[in-house]
Amino acid sequence: MHEYPQAGLAADAFGEVAAVFEENFAAGEELGAAVGVYHRGRPVVDLWGGWADPARTDPWRSDTLAVLASPTKALVTAAYLHLADRQRLDLDEPVAAHWPEFAANGKAAITPRMILTQRSGIVCLDHAPLTPSALRAHTPVAEALAAA
C-alpha cells in the first residue's frame, strides 16, 4: 500500500518509466510529480502521484499545475529559433526593442542570442524573490526580469 496517492497509466513497453516514477516516491525523492511521454504522437505514459502541498493534504491530480523553471529553457529556445528561422525575430536585435522595460539597469544591449547562450549576465532574481503565487501570475516574473 502506498503512503502517497498515485494514478495514471503506462504502456507495457514503458513499464520501466512507471517503476522509476514509483521508486522516486518510495525513496522519498518526490513530494509530488507528474510525467507524460508521447511516442510517435501517442501518449504512452501519463502518471501522477504524491502531494501538491508540503502539508500533504492535497493530492497531486492529473490537472495539478506546477511551476517549471529550468526545463522551460529548452522550450523557449525552440520557440525563439522557430521565430528566427521564419525571420520573425532577429537574434541580434536588443530585447529592449520589443520590451522597453527590459533595458533597465544596463540591459539595453542584451540580445536574445545572449540570453539563449546564457551570456546575458542575468543570473538570478535574488533582488526580487518570487513567491509561488507570483510565479503563477506571470507579471511579477516579467517585472523582476526587467528590474534585474
- The dihedral through the CA atoms of 102, 103, 105, 107 has a sign that is positive
- The dihedral through the CA atoms of 33, 139, 137, 46 has a sign that is negative
CA distance 14 to 8: 13
Give me the helices (H) in 2-70, please. Answer: 15-26
Contact 94, 110 (CB under 8 A): yes
| CA dihedral of residues 77, 115, 104, 125 (deg, nearest 10) | 80
Closest CA relative to residue 62, chosen from 17, 5, 18: 5
Looking at 62, 70, 120, 133, which residue is catalytic? 70
CA distance 134 to 127: 14
Q: Is 62 assigned a catalytic role? A: no
| Catalytic residue IDs | 70
